[in-house]
């Protein structure tokens, strides 16, 4: 669906042929970049989750309070978060790992 008119000061004006070409090009670029935008969004969500993990894993006092099996769970969770972009179907389909304790 191509918008055939533009609004100039409240008046609908028909697009010229060059304007239609520009509009079609813009729409094609937008569609072509859908996966790039989706991947950036998923990575941003993943990075926020990694920050939560890093608050625990990079703090020696907090980390020392955890027993070895719990440390292993956190380490596995962190690796699974890092591997999210390698999942089949990424970025349209993402299976988030289960956070430790949930």
Q: Write out pLDDT tens, residues 55-82.
A: 999 999 999 999 999 999 999 999 999 9
Q: How far apart are CA 62 and CA 55, in angstroms?
A: 9
Q: What angle is formed at CA 31 by the lines to CA 29 and CA 45, rounded to 5 degrees? A: 110
In sequence order, the β-bridge partners of residue 32 are: none
Q: What is the pTM of this model?
A: 0.73
Q: Write out pLDDT tens, residues 33-62.
A: 899 999 999 999 999 999 999 999 999 999
Helix axes 17-32, 34-57, angle to 10 degrees: 30
């Amino acid at each position: 669906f191509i918008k055939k008119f533009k609004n100039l000061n409240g008046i609908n004006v028909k697009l010229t042929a060059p304007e239609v070409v520009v509009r079609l090009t813009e729409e094609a670029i937008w569609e072509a970049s859908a996966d790039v935008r989706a991947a950036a969004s998923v990575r941003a969500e993943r990075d926020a989750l990694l920050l939560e993990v890093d608050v625990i894993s990079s703090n020696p006092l907090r980390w020392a309070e955890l027993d070895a099996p719990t440390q292993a769970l956190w380490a596995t969770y962190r690796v699974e978060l890092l591997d999210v972009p390698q999942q089949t179907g990424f970025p349209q389909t993402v299976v988030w790992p289960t956070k430790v304790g949930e």
